[in-house]
Amino acid sequence: MKFYNIIIKYRLQIGLVLIALGVVTNIYSSFWPSFPLYFVGVILIFGHFFFGPLRLIQEYMESGDVEGAERVLATIKFPGLLYKPIRSVYYTLKGNLAMMKQDFVGAEKHMKKGLDLGMPMAEAEGASLLQMGMISMQKNDLRQAESYIRQALRKGLPDKENQSAAYLQLCSIMMTKREFRAAKDFFRKAKALKPTTPQIVDQIKQVEKYISRIPG
């Protein structure tokens, strides 16, 4: 796995070296001995621009190393050349990193680009829509937030933690709109999923303290 990651990280440089070796071999010998060097070199260079190094980001994202993930993304100089589904993931990752840095304007811009390109899986699209809903919540645009979160639930979310978070956000929006019956319904759905993420569990406990007292 580490060897494969090294190839991904340096395949542009390796490809260029192989092309140079191919040229030298072609000059001092003939075309056919140099052909394998040309062939492999072109494939590596093509892979660098078409697939990118996104595989390398996983370990940084899992460890919460935002700077490491940003360094990998910074090596992509021409995102327009990426294969369309990978380009979508690229912009989604940039949006996620912007969210982690509380850059909601940048997060929204990148997330929209990812969504416009289309997600490779419906659940990935749902997760991005949920993020967009949370960004709209931060901007106090409750109407847009509700629209995004409802779309996220329709598309499907990857796990019960995300689903519970979506229902809690809708519960908050409904309480702000004084639609208390709907707020209670969304709260019951969030709690029924039995999430384990500490932040979501704490939110449920906080809401539970007063939601039973409200009418509806």
Write down the H helix ranges in the chain.
Answer: 2-28, 31-50, 57-63, 66-74, 84-100, 104-117, 122-138, 142-155, 160-176, 180-192, 198-211
For 44-87, what is each residue's pLDDT tens digit? 999 999 999 988 887 787 777 888 889 999 999 999 999 999 99
- Nearest-angstrom CA–CA distance, 127 and 118: 13
**Residue-level pLDDT at 37:** 95
Residue spans of the chain under pLDDT 50 = none
**Residue-level pLDDT at 124:** 84
| Model pTM score | 0.82
**Residue-level pLDDT at 165:** 95
Domain extent listing, the chain = 1-50
**Residue-level pLDDT at 211:** 84
- Nearest-angstrom CA–CA distance, 119 and 197: 25
**Residue-level pLDDT at 54:** 87
- The helix/strand/coil state of 34 is helix
Question: What's the Rg (C-alpha) of the chain?
Answer: 23
